Chain A
């Protein structure tokens, strides 16, 4: 059974600081890994999708890396802004096409 862990559970930083969010998974036989953003009381918004054959994906200030062999992914958010405050969820798609989620990292960016 795939287990996905996100550390830290919560993070508070001043505006302008870079954010580093970690995700680890127990079974390296994955199809892809996806990072989502969730605002309070809202649904999930897809941020980045990394296929198992890829090492990283970038979108604007966001960069996600994937090390499948060690079971780790890292989401970097450069020059954080108050609008980046949200919960960030990591999800791993296993080869049986089941998507497993971590519990998330709640980010607060202080103005």
Chain B
């Protein structure tokens, strides 16, 4: 079974721009979660989508948004980029069993200049 894939792997943007990151979950997984990883703040939960609905949301400003499609693929969007948005963005998928086990993709490294 193919793992979680994220595109692009690397991205460079400038302040004020917007960006869209994509995540394809493992086949059959209906839950997709997004995390931001930075040296200063560590791993922080952004949001989770399950069956096209946002099920959980972390403590991030409204500039961060996401969506999930009927095939479970997910995108996250960051508008009006700030320097502090530079981070590794990780996507994780889950079969949504009670064990809540998540499988992570390799991440998208976003650099904001």
Q: Do these two chains interact?
A: no
